[in-house]
Amino acid sequence: MPVVTLSTDIGQSDYVVGAVKGQLIKALPSISIIDITHQLVANNYLHAAYVCTNAFAFYPAGTFHFVIINLFERAPKHLLVADYKDQFIICPDNGILTMIAGEKPEHIIAIDIIKKNVSGVLNFAETFAETLLAISEGSELQNLGNSITDIEEKYPFRSTVGPDWIDSQIIFIDQFENVVINLTKDEFEEHRKGRNFRIVLPARNDGGITNISENYASVEQGERLAWFNSAGYLELAINKGNLAGLFGLKRFSGGTTLNTLPSNKLMYERVKIFFE
């Protein structure tokens, strides 16, 4: 039974997600459809990559991951199907593939989108449904479209670093307003080199966070903490509190280069770590 995951920026306030599922089930009734999220932010590829990459890692070989984000940044002429780490990522050719994979997959097929009786997102999804049916009937992926190497490429920002500091972007804020920044444990320890550190939140002149906790319960209720979450990224939180709301923190909105000095707006999308 094929497994298909859905990750989109469509939301669930209308019929579109349900219609996409109907297209897939109609093409292949035995399919198993899993919703990862329908709350991706259309212009925030960092957020989408964080969610998708860390969810996809837990699925079995052969899973099809259907990603729809920022679909109409320009009119889509084809969908991409990438064979990556024994799974398949199906998405628009708008840079989200390399954001999720962190590299350009070796095997990518472009499948033309033919105008159907449906339009918009559903026309895009219909092409995927037909592709899925063809694969289930024994067609080889490479025979369903054209091999392609010239695709739109975007890559996740990495934290900027200096001799005794790291400047990171906020890539995700969860429903409890805990904040995740684009810094992994390996990257943190590589730059730390055993030194003491201070994690400084924007517009704060206090001593910052100076310890890494095991989990939320490692500190008293109402206290701030930093820990490396199950995805391996540095997460900042308040035990039983709402860190992002209290400090006015926001997800990184993009639109700048890593060498751009933060404006007043961008200051609240970034977190600095100092080493001593």
What backbone phi and psi angles, to 5 degrees, belong to 119?
-130, 175
Alpha carbon 126 to chain centroid distance? 24
Element (H, E) at 62: none
Identify the pLDDT of residue 247.
84
Summarize pLDDT for 82-92 with one digit per residue, the tens: 999 999 999 99
Domains, in order of start, for the chain? 3-147 (3.40.50.10790), 160-275 (2.40.30.90)
Question: Considering the entire predicted model, what is its pTM?
Answer: 0.88
Q: Which of 89, 96, 82 is nearest to 59 (CA)?
A: 89
Q: How far apart are CA 223 and CA 241, in angstroms?
A: 8
Taking only the tens place, the pLDDT of each residue in 66-114 is 999 999 988 889 999 999 999 999 999 999 999 999 999 999 999 999 8
CA distance 171 to 169: 6
Q: Which DSSP letter does residue 42 get?
A: T
Q: What percent of the chain has pLDDT over 90?
A: 78
Question: Cβ atoms within 10 A of the Cβ of 191, count?
Answer: 19
Instruction: Please state the φ and ψ torsions of residue 217, each to the nearest 5 degrees.
Output: -75, 0
CA distances in angstroms from 244 to 67, 170, 267, listed in the order given: 27, 10, 13
Whether the CB-CB separation of 200 and 208 falls below 8 Å is answered with yes
Distance CA 67, CA 84 (A): 14
Residue 205 has pLDDT above 80, yes or no: no
